Amino acid sequence: MPTSDLLYLSHADVENVSLDMATIIKLLEQAFMEKGNGRVEMPPKPGIHTMPDAFIHAMPAYIPSMKSAGIKWVSGYPENFKRGLPYINGLLILNDSETGVPYAVMDCAWVTAYRTGAASALAAKYLARPESASVGILACGVQGRTNLEALSCLFKIKKVYAYDVLPDVQAVYVRDMSKQLGLEVVGVKEPKLAVAQADLVVTSGPILKHPTPTIGKDWLQPGAFASAVDFDSYFTEAALAQMDRISTDDHAQFQYYRSAGYFQQTPDPYADLGELVAGKKPGRQSPTERTLAINLGLALDDMAVAPTIFRMAKEKGLGTPLAL
Ligand SMILES: NC(=O)c1ccc[n+]([C@@H]2O[C@H](COP(=O)([O-])OP(=O)(O)OC[C@H]3O[C@@H](n4cnc5c(N)ncnc54)[C@H](O)[C@@H]3O)[C@@H](O)[C@H]2O)c1
């Protein structure tokens, strides 16, 4: 029997590919166009739950036009920081779409971090005011970083207000992101100071089934856009009720999470990101609307990006070939 090799890409290998954020946003836009036109196979993700508020999810998707088929096996553990471990960990497998044979296994933390930021920016392209110039970041972790980077690809950002419950983490974020993006980034002492002054808001704290939400009514200004990367953990019912438009990335997965106990106070999204990109649902309709994107994170996002990572890694001679 003929055997084949697969390429193993460690976290460092994936990082060293240095795929740029602007390209990641374009790849996601292409994938969501396919989804909006019903040309993607992506069953809702099943998961196991070994600890409260923790998950390990299986996320398969097939995007025929991108010849991308595979699965991500990803965990999210809110208490991991106490052990010096990342919140998000996991592996991603790519399969040949004509034979089913796996041809790559890669660490998925980098792809998850970058594609989630890109999905926020893509939603903002349709739901934020184009002249948005200030950003509020609530939680200065991995997502706080990649979401800001992605937003700065599509918007001329002038000022960033950053908040984290841990002042040291916030201070390092302010230093790093000012330098990395050449933006004015200031730390704020309370979440309200980040939300009320921003055109674009990202919440990226822990996802909790029974959260104690912080963002109150009238904090988000008329005309502002928010991306809740951490589900509805940060928004009070009153703040959610004020939203003129709430989008998600997939209706079926949103309803699945609702049935699992999340989003009990959140109105049903009017559109998903595929419908927005494919022009099947309108985006923002006036400069005063408050808009909110709740991207749950889809296998589609990962499968939009991973084949390009693989191809570039091959070109750069990165990774370790393994016998299957
Ligand atoms: N929707 C998606 O597609 C998607 C994808 C990846 C991660 N996530 C979620 O994004 C969140 C962040 O992930 P990450 O990898 O950046 O984790 P991370 O551990 O790197 O960052 C989390 C940050 O939140 C801070 N924090 C905790 N509670 C806070 C609060 N109440 N207010 C402000 N800051 C607070 C922590 O100090 C930490 O800096 C997680 O909930 C994760 O599940 C969502």
H or E stretch covering 70 = strand 68-76
Q: Phi, psi at residue 61, to the nearest 5°?
A: -155, 155
Q: Which of 204, 257, 303 to mutate to test the pocket of ligand 1 (most atoms within 8 A of CB)?
A: 204
Query: In this model, does residue 229 exceed pLDDT 90?
Result: yes
* Nearest atom, ligand 1, residue 231 CA: 1
Average pLDDT over residues 74-87: 95
pLDDT on residue 260: 87
How far is Cα 22 from Cα 121, in angstroms, rounded to an integer?
10
pLDDT on residue 62: 98
Query: In this model, does residue 1 exceed pLDDT 80?
Result: no
pLDDT on residue 2: 56
Indicate if ligand 1 lies below 6 Å from the C-beta of 165. Answer: yes
pLDDT on residue 3: 62
Å from CA of 100 to ligand 1 middle = 34
222 touches 196 (CB < 8 A)? no
Query: In this model, does residue 275 exceed pLDDT 70?
Result: yes
12-65 confidence digits (pLDDT tens): 999 999 999 999 999 999 999 999 999 999 998 899 999 999 999 999 999 999
* Alpha carbon distance, N-terminus to C-terminus of the chain: 12
Indicate if ligand 1 lies below 6 Å from the C-beta of 240. Answer: no
SS3 of residue 159 by DSSP: strand
